Structure 1
């Protein structure tokens, strides 16, 4: 399937009898996964980013089809090879009435670089590429990078801006080594979760955030942009698809995310609507290839078989991706032959399907020196991705069939992500949506050799390193010519596939179901947004 950024929606004919003021007061949403924080710089997961996007905004944003659009910046342009000039929207204000200015941009990037409680380093990687921020006036600033970086606007679409009043400061300046002019302590995740610091420019404000209970938002009546239909939004996490659907059918929810595909006919027959949107999220397993001893691998040789390329290729050959899509994902997914959908910038246009060949897999294991296999554990979440636990069990069965004794350990995401960041796993399930709309996004976080100074490899928990790939990637992200950059990215993607330190499985599709009187526009990044739910005309 070629991935096209167009809306694929299956929507029933909806009645408009409920389109009244009373109907528009509260939107009740059933989430599949609970956000872990309301801190906009804490952890780049889709549930967190979806919640945060209601309250905080970036300089530029991505449309539902992953196209760049103005947000807090009304325009941007390269001034030279390493400088971008941003013009901020004069209308943009925070929910407390303060205007959004260039000082807030400076403070936001400084806070990212001083956020000791952050999980992952995605935002920090972006901030580290910035050499200087020069404030020309309240509504004009220049961002300078040390080398050409044509993808900077794409990366900034993932960076929420915060109010400079969350800290005490003197004259703000982008000088991270000297605390940027901040005189108080930098707020941590708990300070944001308490709610007092949650001051954004977005269409909603935070009313209540209680882990395990629910989230309540109130419409920002002073919002500088287009106001949403709903005065109040109540979000409740229900990890199991069955109870989530029951809640929709019973009227407890107006909108739910990720209903099981097998239930779509029941949803339709019950008079409800649903939307299906192909997503940019690839599901994959990341292998621990950087250590001679891996914590959850037992080898008859006492070594780490995952360091052997043939072993990794054998593991990929053992997996029947089409069967997983049909049986585990109920057909609402696409087998992944690379890490980004075909059609995305930098993707391999004619990438062949990844082969399912258990016989060849066994032969490769023998050639690698493991004719009798070895033992390992697959680690995964059980409450984050669509059918994550079932998916992991299925892959374990496939690996067992080629002689790799495979155990499964699934856990809640609040336990899983910190453990993965500490490299406590040997084979870890991952899900990543390349929300910048191009191939460099996955490569820079997961595949390139970790280098804090260059801002790459922040999620490379497997310790993978390929100097040839690194060189291709770094040249690509510094290349201004689009055709040349795309070619270099394709070469880097191919090198990664050849090494198979990250085994791609499938691309998820976003699915939402909703009651009569509502229209809903799905997003390719799978964020569930109250602002995309409108009253049916």
Structure 2
């Protein structure tokens, strides 16, 4: 429910009156930690944009907007110079300087989840208190893309207690000093995260008027929607496909639906199951799963059936690679492989992370049963599920991947590359795929500056992934929010599903 806090005189706006408001947002889960570098996840990045600031951030048109970095210029093919804002203070009161940027990037290079993004950075040099040079190991076409994930932290506040432990209890997981538009006021894990407007925020041009932002995890789709319709909350996400029509016909409530590029897939662990090492079995499983039916019946048409990992927005997308559901051919391949009688496998999926994820997992299990693969399925809340995911605790795991760099190669290096704890490559490769030639192609694509040659490399990787049936692509998930009519979500939710809450202006109801 939107609650009027007070009417204040807006200095600098011709003495016009403006409304400072509270905003209550119901999401399917809360961030696992207050540490912006602990987990590379949608919820974590959404939180980070509220409490921290990146060096640059994506505009809605796909270009980059200066944030803590005011400008940048290329020094040579391996060096980018950044100029930093000189008027930023962390929530602790400490000023932001180049030392904080060096400290942050070095920390990101040690993060299990982020190191694969940042291992391309060789080192960062301090030129002066507000200028840094970022040196890469090789020419890299996506350097600005990864700088959108450099949420700078307060070196003075964190130094000596900056350990990153995924799903662990550390100083950084429970204590915060960011520079963002909100400060952390209160957190009760699993119940609420309350943020208060930062009175000393550097971005005085922001039109945002949210004074208090309360993030509430509500796992149940129906309960989340009921909270919006009864006025208990102002914004919800996601909206279940079955509820979309109801939202659209409800007065004073509006739907925001954007095309998404997150690919939801099933990964088959070849290290756990010998059967999955047989390409005929993997191809049979791909043919047995009917992606179009899942999108039509479960997602109610919201989503796009996937026959590959790269969405049409990415250079790696190959238009000829479409879903190929064929039950008879799948059964024939199982027979050729000597598994006509099938086998039993375990499968795990989240039940509050992706759109209708539990129902999709149940549908996929039923489809695999038609080729005599019996699936013992267990589903878990997001926070618990990803601990099992990291342990590769089942034969088949569900994963949804949003390319962090808005580029195909980000999917390949996290999901298909051989797992390497030192570099972070393959960090989300629960299928235990390992193809050294593929790794070489991923590496070459990360160095190729010629657009045509890079596109050819990326499409070659995509075609090999589909030919080898390393994963079962399911669908590309749309971005769907619902809100009260006077909440201007359209202006702050971008194509990566990262709302910039600090810039949200809520009109009077």
User: Fold-level match, TM-score > 0.5?
Assistant: yes
**Alpha-carbon distance between aligned partners in 2 of 1:356 and 1:95, rounded to the nearest angstrom:** 54
1:514 aligns with 2:483: yes
2:144 match: 153
For the pair 1:92 / 2:62, whether they are aligned, the reply is no
**Residue of structure 1 equivalent to 2:409:** 440
The verdict on how the C-alpha distance between 1:260 and 1:184 changes in structure 2, with shifts beyond 3 A counting, is closer
Tell me the TM-score normalized by structure 1: 0.86
CA 1:353–1:517: 2 relative to 1, 3 Å: same
Query: Shift of the alpha carbon at 1:384?
Result: 1.5
Shift of 1:373: 1.3
Match among 275, 286, 292 for residue 316 of structure 1:
286
- 8 A Cα contact 2:260 2:479, kept in partner: yes
| Residues 306/475 of structure 1: CA separation in 2 closer, same or farther (3 Å cut) | same
Equivalences for residues 488-507 of structure 1 within 5 A:
488-507=457-476
Q: Deviations over 1:139-195 (max 9, x none)?
A: 111111222222122122123210111244xxxxxxxxxxxxxx6674765313433
CA distance in 1, matches of 2:387, 2:152: 25
Is the Cα contact below 8 Å between 1:288 and 1:426 reproduced in 2? Answer: yes
- Do the aligned partners of residues 352 and 167 (structure 1) sit closer, same or farther apart at CA in structure 2, a change above 3 Å counting? closer
Contact 2:242 2:299 (8 Å CA) reproduced: no
CA distance in 1, matches of 2:42, 2:304: 19
Kindly report the root-mean-square deviation, in angstroms, between the aligned alpha carbons of the 2 structures: 2.2
1:204 to 182, 201, 214: 182
In the alignment, the residues of structure 2 paired with residue 212 and residue 266 of structure 1 have an alpha-carbon distance, to the nearest angstrom, of: 28
1:524 aligned residue:
495
Residues of 2 paired with 1:517 and 1:419: CA distance?
Answer: 40
**Contact kept? 1:396, 1:408, Cα under 8 Å:** yes
Q: Partners in 2 of 1:114 and 1:480 — Cα distance? A: 27
Distance (Å, rounded) in 2 between the aligned partners of 1:185 and 1:444:
26
Among 52, 56, 64, the alignment partner of 1:56 is 52
Query: Taking structure 1 as reference, are residues 528 and 385 closer, same or farther at Cα in structure 2, changes over 3 Å only?
Result: farther
Distance 1:369 1:283, change over 3 A: same
- Are 2:33 and 2:174, in contact at CA under 8 Å, matched by a contact in 1? no
Name the SS of the counterpart of 1:248 in structure 2.
helix
Correspondence 1:39 to 2:35: yes
Map 1:264-303 → 2, pairs under 5 A: 264-271=244-251, 272-289=253-270, 291=271, 294=272
C-alpha distance in 1 between matches for 2:20 and 2:28: 23
Give the deviation of 1:263 after TM superposition.
Answer: 2.2
Aligned to 1:262: 242
Aligned runs of 1:175-254 on 2, under 5 Å?
A: 186=163, 189-195=169-175, 198-225=176-203, 226-227=205-206, 228-254=208-234
How far off its partner does 1:528 sit? Answer: 4.5
Which of 39-48 and 256-265 deviates more?
A: 256-265
Choose the corresponding residue for 1:67, options 58, 63, 67: 63
In the alignment, the residues of structure 1 paired with residue 310 and residue 237 of structure 2 have an alpha-carbon distance, to the nearest angstrom, of: 23
Q: What is the 5 A alignment of 1:111-126?
A: 111-114=107-110, 121-126=112-117
Bigger shift: residues 446-455 or 52-61: 446-455
Say whether the 8 Å CA contact 1:375–1:405 is kept in structure 2. yes
Structure 1 unmatched runs, 5+: 1-16, 116-120, 169-182, 298-303
Instruction: Describe the superposition over 1:265-324 as per-residue Cα deviations: whole angstroms up to 9, x where unpaired.
Output: 3223321111101112110011112x2xx1xx5xxxxxx101111111111111111111
Partner of 1:30: 26
* Residues 132-147 of structure 1 mapped to structure 2, 5 A cutoff: 132-147=123-138
Gaps of 5+ in 2: 9-17
Q: Deviations over 1:41-78 (max 9, x none)?
A: 11111112111210112212123454332221122333
Alignment counterpart, residue 341 of structure 2, candidates 354, 358, 372: 372
CA distance in 1, matches of 2:328, 2:6: 59
CA contact (8 A) 2:5 2:22 kept: no
Q: Is the 8 A contact 1:19 1:517 kept in 2?
A: no
CA distance in 2 between counterparts of 1:366 and 1:320 reads 20
* CA offsets 1:415-437 (integer angstroms, 9 cap, x no match): 22122212222110001101311
Question: 1:19 Cα shift?
Answer: 12
Shift of residue 201, structure 1, vs aligned partner: 1.5
Q: Is 2:375 the partner of 1:406?
A: yes
* 1:455 Cα offset (Å): 4.4
Q: How many residues align?
A: 488
Corresponding residue number in structure 2 for 1:80: 76
Between the aligned partners of 2:164 and 2:336, the Cα distance in structure 1 is: 54
